[in-house]
């Protein structure tokens, strides 16, 4: 019966232009399809990443856009394991349309000088 299985693997591989050993490993459960393998290797699920993005947007609206270290801390807490800074960089690249960097406006020089300790003592 095994010889029949190999023949069918060979025929299917030939029909679809796939390497026979790849097809055999998939049938034996040794390897997975690319999308399935990627989902098991991810630190956060797709839903967890969506929730993290919503939280980041809330922080940004409040005037506190998170730093890379903050993102690493948030993701590590969600994943229940330490994520690397490389993960943070990949996350930011994957979601660059959703993550908009906001720069605060610089303080006016007159306001800066007015808020000095010497002025308050006067």
**Whole-prediction pTM value?**
0.54
Rounded CA-CA distance 99/82 in Å is 22
When pLDDT is cut at 50, 70 and 90, the band that residue 25 belongs to is confident
Rounded CA-CA distance 12/107 in Å is 68
Cβ neighbours of residue 82 under 8 Å, at least 6 residues apart? 76
Instruction: For residue range 31-55, list pLDDT tens digits in order.
Output: 766 655 554 567 899 999 999 999 9
Instruction: For residue range 87-117, list pLDDT tens digits in order.
Output: 999 999 999 888 776 555 555 666 666 666 7
Helical residues (DSSP H) of 17-108, grouped into ranges: 20-28, 34-41, 46-61, 68-79, 85-94
Rounded CA-CA distance 37/42 in Å is 9
Domain regions of the chain by residue span: 2-39, 43-94
Whether the pLDDT of residue 70 is over 80: the answer is yes
pLDDT mean over 82-91: 94
Rounded CA-CA distance 20/27 in Å is 11
pLDDT of residue 18: 81
Rounded CA-CA distance 121/119 in Å is 5
């Amino acid at each position: 019966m095994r010889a029949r299985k190999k023949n069918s693997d060979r025929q299917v591989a030939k029909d679809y232009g796939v390497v026979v050993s790849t097809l055999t490993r998939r049938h034996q459960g040794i390897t997975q399809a690319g999308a399935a393998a990627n989902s098991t290797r991810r630190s956060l699920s797709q839903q967890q990443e969506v929730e993290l993005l919503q939280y980041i947007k809330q922080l940004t609206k409040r005037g506190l856009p998170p730093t890379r270290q903050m993102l690493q801390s948030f993701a590590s807490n969600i994943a229940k394991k330490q994520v690397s800074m490389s993960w943070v960089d990949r996350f930011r690249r994957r979601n660059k349309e959703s993550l908009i960097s906001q720069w605060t406006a610089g303080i006016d020089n007159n306001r800066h000088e007015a808020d000095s300790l010497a002025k308050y003592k006067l």
